[in-house]
Amino acid sequence: MKRLMILSMMCTSGLAYAEMDGSKILMEEAERAKEVQRLQYQAELLKQRAEIAKYMDEIQKHGGDVTDFGTVSTRSTGTSNAPVSVSAPAIPKVDELPTVLNIENNRAAFQTNEGKVFGKVGQTLPGGYRVVAISMRDGVRLQKDGMRYDIDISW
């Protein structure tokens, strides 16, 4: 009888250890998923910046003026055919991802570029982020331009 009790205690402690390992693995995977999501967002921004730079180069190549787009061009004042020196195009201002301040019942408080706002599922936040889901356990899921963003409460 004692052997059976000792064996059952060992099995129970083994299950508890396995459960702790499983939760640790899930937490690590969640962190990796957040990092992948952040990298995808940055890659999208870089693609957009490269496309803007390409179009600006094309405009300049055909003699267009891009000074209104945040670039500075300097030409020599003589009649020589000196090359045109152009700085890199200005990077357009990108809305920052809203920060979740707290969640209560079916709404969440967000810190955005335009200040603190409250949102519910289905509403659109400043910056064009639509609230897809709110959960005390999983945080908030936002969507913008086909990209989904899972956000935890910031401490």
Does residue 99 or residue 11 have the better pLDDT? 99
The CA-atom distances, in angstroms, between 102 and each of 17, 31, 117, 138, 154 are: 32, 20, 11, 12, 8
For the segment 109-128, the average pLDDT, to the nearest whole number, is 92
* 110/65 Cα distance (integer angstroms): 40
Does residue 84 or residue 54 have the better pLDDT? 54
What is the structure's pLDDT at 77?
40
Q: Is residue 40 part of a domain?
A: yes
53 three-state secondary structure: helix
Q: Is residue 94 part of a domain?
A: no
* 46/69 Cα distance (integer angstroms): 18
Is 8 in the same domain as 81? yes
pTM of structure:
0.41
Is 108 in the same domain as 75? no
Query: Which of 86, 111, 139 is a domain's end point?
Result: 86
Q: Is residue 18 part of a domain?
A: yes
The count of structural domains within the chain is 2
Query: Which of 62, 86, 110 is a domain's end point?
Result: 86
Beta strand residue intervals within the chain, DSSP E? 73-74, 85-86, 99-104, 107-112, 115-120, 130-135, 139-144, 147-151
Is 33 in the same domain as 57? yes
Query: Which of 86, 118, 143 is a domain's end point?
Result: 86
In terms of residue numbers, what domain contains 141? Answer: 99-151
Is 79 in the same domain as 138? no
Listed range (15-24, 67-76, 114-123) with the worst mean pLDDT: 67-76
Q: Is residue 93 part of a domain?
A: no
Answer whether residue 126 shows pLDDT above 70: yes
Q: Is residue 15 part of a domain?
A: yes
Give residue-wise pLDDT tens across range 50-72. 888 888 888 888 887 767 665 43
Is 20 in the same domain as 61? yes
Q: Is residue 91 part of a domain?
A: no
Answer whether residue 153 shows pLDDT above 90: no
